[in-house]
Amino acid sequence: MATQVFVLIPHAAGKADDAALELLSAARAMFPGVTPTALVLGAGADQTAVAQEAAAAYPEVWGFSQEVLAYPNAELIRPLLLKILPAGAVVLLPHSTLGIDLGPGLSVKLGAAYLPDVVGFDGIDGSLLKVVRQEFSGQVSAHVQADIVKGAVITVRSGAFQPAQPGPAAGTVVDKSAEAAGLTARRRFVEVVQAEAGDVDITREDVLVAVGRGIGEQDNLSLVDELAEAMGATVCCSRPIVDAKWLDKGRQVGTSGATVKPKVYLALGISGAFQHLGGLKGSPFVVAVNKNPKAPIFQAAQVGVVGDLMELLPELTQQIQKAR
């Protein structure tokens, strides 16, 4: 079907997010033959830089530079998109805190279908688009079908699509800043309060031992510490561990924590909810240990062990110490 596809390019500090290329892959997979248009909203030099970067992959980039867009406020972006998008447009957003904020309302205002948190594509039949979603923290998946005859707003889960290779020829940037003039919203951005920096920077570590809810009790963390020490690795964790205040926020991997790019990632008692995996980038070698053979982490891992951490950890620590 003939449709126009737009991709909102997420960016920060003058650089496009990894999702920019993943969204391009998703767009190409779902709408082959359609040339997607990148939308780069921002302000000043940052916006210009990102627009140029986007043009390396996207044949056409629409740039919107306005001071109010310096920080992405969904309440400002939504009316802007409403104004500039043609009828029946398909918009791809990252399923990020911005996408979650922007997408549902945008779909209503556009009269388009909303397909959130898409992890896969399962075909298109006329105006019926079929995608894959997950429910119950990834315990089950579902095929979801939407009629996109009046357009669609699709948010794509981070890491679900491989980043696209940038095209050979650079695209063009069309400056449409004038259309973004005079935007106001009933929600005004004030500031970002940075998460407290911890004692370690897990984003720079090559070998991470990650611990999740499966460790059971706080005292058992000592077993993880010992293993990490034997490996020469750094301990990080999933959200429940931070919520329980067992480890600092600075050690949390995931969409609401840090994004890490280690070489080796040992996931202990982590079920592998996408919020956690969303923070794991750079194709590390993932080893997962979990009691539950159905834990989604085993889908993300290269090597899996179904077993009891309390038994395995001391043994592993001992053998590593011996092996040295």
Partner 1 sequence: MPALPFSPASAVVAGVPARLLFLLIPLAGLACFSWMMVRRVAPLLKAAPDPRFDNIWERTILVLKVWLAQWRHPRYMLAGVLHIVLFLGFLVLGLRSFQLVFLGFMETFTLPGFGGPLGAVYNVAKDYAATAVFLSVVVLAYRRGIVRPARYAVPRELGKDHTGEAILVLGLIATLLLSESAFEGSLLAAGGHGSAAPLTLAWACQHLLAGLSLPVLAQVNLASYAIHDLTFFYFLCLLPVGKHFHVITSLFNVAFMRLRPGNVKPVQHGVDDKGLDELKSFGVKTLEDFTWKHLLDFYSCADCGRCSDQCPANRVKRPLSPRFISIKGRDHTYQRYPLFGASKAKAEPLIGGIYSEDEIWSCTTCGACEEECPIGIEYIDKIVDLRRGMVDEGMVPQSLQKPLSALAKRGNPWGKLEKKRADWAAGVGEGFEVKLAEKGDSAEALYFVDSMTSYDDRMQKIAQSTARILHKADVDFLALGKEEKDSGHEVRRYGEEMLFQSLKEQNTEAILETRARRIITSDPHAYNALKNDYAGLPPVEHVSEVIAAGVESGKLKFNPLADTTRTYTYHDPCYLGRHNGLYEAPRVAMDAIPGIRRVEMEGACHDRSFCCGGGGLGLFFEPEEEQRMGVVRIHMAREAGASVIVTACPFCLTNLEDAIKVAGLEGQMEAIDLCELVDAQLQH
Partner 2 sequence: MEILVCVKRVPDSAENEINVAAGGADICREDLVYAVNEWDNYAVEEAIQIVEREGGSVTVVALGDAEIEESVRREMAMGAEQGLMLVDAGFAGSDGLGVATILKAAAQKKRYDLILTGAQAEDGAAQVGGMLAALLDHPYASLVNKVDVNGQTLRIGREIEGGSQELSDIDLPCVLSIQTGINEPRYVGLRGIRKVASVEIPVLNGADLGVDLASVGKAAAKVRRVDYFVPVVSAGAEMLTGSTKEVAAQLVELLKAKGGLN
Q: Cβ(211)–Cβ(224) under 8 Å?
A: yes
Tell whether residue 186 is a contact of partner 2 (CB under 8 A). yes
Q: How far apart are CA 294 and CA 148, in angstroms?
A: 34
Tell whether residue 217 is a contact of partner 2 (CB under 8 A). no
Strands 11-12 and 15-16, sheet pairing: antiparallel
* Contacted by 220, from partner 2, partner 1, none: CB < 5 to 8 Å by type: partner 1
Q: Phi and psi of 109, rounded to 5°? A: -65, -35
Tell whether residue 201 is a contact of partner 2 (CB under 8 A). no
* Contacted by 218, from partner 1, partner 2, none: CB < 5 to 8 Å by type: partner 1
Nearer to partner 1, 85 or 309 (CB): 309
Nearer to partner 1, 44 or 314 (CB): 314
Nearer to partner 2, 169 or 217 (CB): 217
* Contacted by 310, from partner 1, partner 2, none: CB < 5 to 8 Å by type: partner 1
44 marked among binding-site residues: no
Nearer to partner 2, 173 or 183 (CB): 183
Q: How far apart are CA 115 and CA 138, in angstroms?
A: 17
Structure tokens at 181: 């003039």
Nearer to partner 1, 191 or 311 (CB): 311
Structure tokens at 33: 């033959």
Site string for partner 2, 86-125 (x = CB under 8 A): ----------xx--xxxxxxxxxx---xxxxx--------
Q: Cβ(190)–Cβ(77) under 8 Å?
A: no
Nearer to partner 2, 82 or 174 (CB): 82
Q: Cα 3 to the chain's mean position, in Å?
A: 26
14 marked among binding-site residues: no
Nearer to partner 2, 26 or 231 (CB): 231
Q: Which of residues 226-255 bind partner 2 (CB under 8 A)?
A: 231-233, 243, 249, 252, 255
275 marked among binding-site residues: yes
Tell whether residue 133 is a contact of partner 2 (CB under 8 A). yes
Q: How far apart are CA 142 and CA 95, in angstroms?
A: 17
Tell whether residue 13 is a contact of partner 2 (CB under 8 A). no
Q: Around Cβ 318, how many Cβ atoms within 10 Å? A: 13
Binds partner 2 (CB under 8 A): choice among 15, 147, 178, 282: 147
Q: Phi and psi of 148, rounded to 5°? A: -105, 25
162 marked among binding-site residues: no
Q: Phi and psi of 196, rounded to 5°? A: -60, 130
31 marked among binding-site residues: no
Question: Which value, in Å, is the radius of gyration of the alpha carbons in the chain?
Answer: 22
Q: Cβ(221)–Cβ(278) under 8 Å?
A: no
141 marked among binding-site residues: no
Crossing angle of the two packed helices 309-323 and 221-231, in degrees rounded to 10: 20
Q: How far apart are the first and last CA of the chain?
A: 61
* Contacted by 192, from partner 1, partner 2, none: CB < 5 to 8 Å by type: partner 2
Residues contributing to the annotated binding site: 213, 238-239, 252-256, 269-276, 290
Binding residues for FAD: 213, 238-239, 252-256, 269-276, 290
